[in-house]
């Protein structure tokens, strides 16, 4: 069977994640969507001459990725043949949300450019929400790294590696988002943070979900653990990046470069979220190559934009 993958709010990063995971290795869409952070739906491509009335049973809906379909009329035509109730996308959108498809148990038909598909797997929004909003320790006031973005970063980091024997380090662990997503994947996770309070909060979050990871107080510039990959969101500086001073920016860049200097001895691959891309050339001059990225993540109203970069250490 051939499938189409429908991405969420970070399509470029989701595409990189999908390529890293290589969906051809797993022909079970229900299992595959559990691993992916950036894919919200998986659709099975339908035969060219398929009659929709023959595959739609019960309630249904249409999502149009082309912008060319009269969704209301198509739904009415199908309803006349099947008698089923149809659900339209919300006003201003041409796509049904994964929440609506799952909660209302709809048969969803997706109209793509030159293809027609039927949704066969939907992201478990309740489980993602539980790990995001159900943690006892959060930092909503500074904008935490979303679990889905953390998952995509991890999947890219361990590309081509067996998950069960891969060890990943997050040396700016904060409240443990990356560590939690790594534990969900079955990775061996190590985390550190220069702030004792943050380490305590990370441990509390992990314990609340029955997860285990090695977590300790430490400076990201001095960690010694050799691992398969480093996945982290570094100190992003002020909550509002527009207010950063030249001195603050210089100190942050120095911190990042000192980290990369130390990490050369620890790992081959680094996936990192930074507030800008200005250190890329200097990191490359250290003996790294930029494998993928930058990917920019941030909601339109966000005061902090994350620039996600994937580096390979060519000296190891």
What tokens were used for 300?
Answer: 């339109």
* Regions in the chain scoring below 50 on pLDDT: none
User: Residue 234, by phi and psi: left (phi above 0), alpha (psi -120 to 50) or beta?
Assistant: beta
Structural domains for the chain: 3-122 (no CATH), 126-313 (3.40.50.150)
What is the pLDDT at residue 142?
Answer: 57
DSSP, res 65: S
DSSP, res 275: S
Smallest CA-to-CA distance from 113 within 55, 69, 50, 61 is with 69
What is the pLDDT at residue 307?
Answer: 94
What is the pLDDT at residue 204?
Answer: 96
| Phi and psi, residue 204, nearest 5° | -65, -45
Q: What is the DSSP string of 107-133?
A: EEEEEETTEEEEEEEE--HHHHHHHHH
Q: What is the pTM of this model?
A: 0.93
What is the pLDDT at residue 137?
Answer: 86
Q: What is the pLDDT of residues 96-136, one digit of tens each?
A: 999 999 999 999 999 999 999 999 999 999 999 999 888 99
What is the pLDDT at residue 240?
Answer: 62
Smallest CA-to-CA distance from 89 within 105, 78, 77, 100 is with 100
What is the pLDDT at residue 242?
Answer: 66
Smallest CA-to-CA distance from 122 within 146, 147, 97 is with 97
Residue 49, classed as helix, strand or coil, is coil
The β-bridge partners of 307 are 274, 296
């Amino acid at each position: 069977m051939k499938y189409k993958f429908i991405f969420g709010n970070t399509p470029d990063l989701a595409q990189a994640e999908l390529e890293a995971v290589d969906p051809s290795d797993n022909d079970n869409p229900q299992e595959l969507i559990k691993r992916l952070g950036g894919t919200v739906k998986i659709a099975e491509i339908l035969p060219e001459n398929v009659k929709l009335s023959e595959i739609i049973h019960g309630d249904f809906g249409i999502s149009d990725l082309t912008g060319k379909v009269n969704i209301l009329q198509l739904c009415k035509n199908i309803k006349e043949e099947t008698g089923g109730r149809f659900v339209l996308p919300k006003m201003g959108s041409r796509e049904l949300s994964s929440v609506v498809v799952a909660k209302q148990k709809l048969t969803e038909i997706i109209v793509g450019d030159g293809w027609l598909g039927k949704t066969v797997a939907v992201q478990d929004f309740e489980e993602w929400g539980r790990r995001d909003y159900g943690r006892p320790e959060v930092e909503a006031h500074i904008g935490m790294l979303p679990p889905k973005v953390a998952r995509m970063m991890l999947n890219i980091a361990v590309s081509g590696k067996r998950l069960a024997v891969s060890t990943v380090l997050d040396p700016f662990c904060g409240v443990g988002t990356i560590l939690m997503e790594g534990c969900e994947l079955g990775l061996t996770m190590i985390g550190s943070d220069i702030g004792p309070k943050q380490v305590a909060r990370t441990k509390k979050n992990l314990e609340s979900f029955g997860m285990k990871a090695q977590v300790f107080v430490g400076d990201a510039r001095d960690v010694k653990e050799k691992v398969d990959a480093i996945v982290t969101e570094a100190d992003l500086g002020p909550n509002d990046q527009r207010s950063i001073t030249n001195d603050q920016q210089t100190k942050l860049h120095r911190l990042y470069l000192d980290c990369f200097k130390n990490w050369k001895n620890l790992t081959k691959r680094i996936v990192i979220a930074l507030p800008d891309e200005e250190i890329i050339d200097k990191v490359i001059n250290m003996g790294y190559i930029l494998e993928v990225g930058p990917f920019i993540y941030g909601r339109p109203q966000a005061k902090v934009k994350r620039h996600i970069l994937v580096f390979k250490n060519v000296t190891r």
